[in-house]
Amino acid sequence: MKERGKTFLGQPRALANLFGVELWERFSFYGMQGILLINLYYEASRGGLGIDQDTATSIVGAYGGSVYLATVIGAWFADRRGQWHDAISGALPLQPRRRGFTAGEFPDTGSNDG
């Protein structure tokens, strides 16, 4: 097999793209969990929903668990219908939700109180 000139840390160049996509996906997922917890936990006067801490963390944990469970279900469908179709049909509904979730005001965390 012929060696290519450009590599990414000694690996094939396409691995750089895969690394970047995976890094961004993790950043987005864990960031959304943090934002969700803040919006659930802080009281309404500070922009949140005012749910008690145990319930709020349980909701975030159930959300995180359902995301990982959905990958198993999605993989099952992808094996039967084709990965490209399922990747697009799964990614498109996520974008408006994520943009809408972060477009609102964040709860006042009190960090700017001199």
What is d(CA 41, CA 59) in angstroms, rounded to the nearest whole number? 11
pLDDT digits (tens, 9 = 90+) for 50-103: 999 999 999 999 999 998 888 888 778 777 876 667 667 767 766 666 666 666
The answer to whether residue 8 sits within a structural domain is no
- Residue 86, classed as helix, strand or coil, is helix
Question: What was the pLDDT predicted at 52?
Answer: 93
Backbone angles phi, psi at 11, to 5 degrees: -110, 165
pLDDT of 41 strictly over 60: yes
Mean pLDDT of 21-26: 89
What is d(CA 89, CA 12) in angstroms, rounded to the nearest whole number? 29
The answer to whether residue 7 sits within a structural domain is no
Domain total of the chain: 1
Question: What was the pLDDT predicted at 65?
Answer: 92
Q: Domain range spanning residue 94? A: 14-102
Question: What was the pLDDT predicted at 60?
Answer: 94
The answer to whether residue 63 sits within a structural domain is yes
The answer to whether residue 85 sits within a structural domain is yes
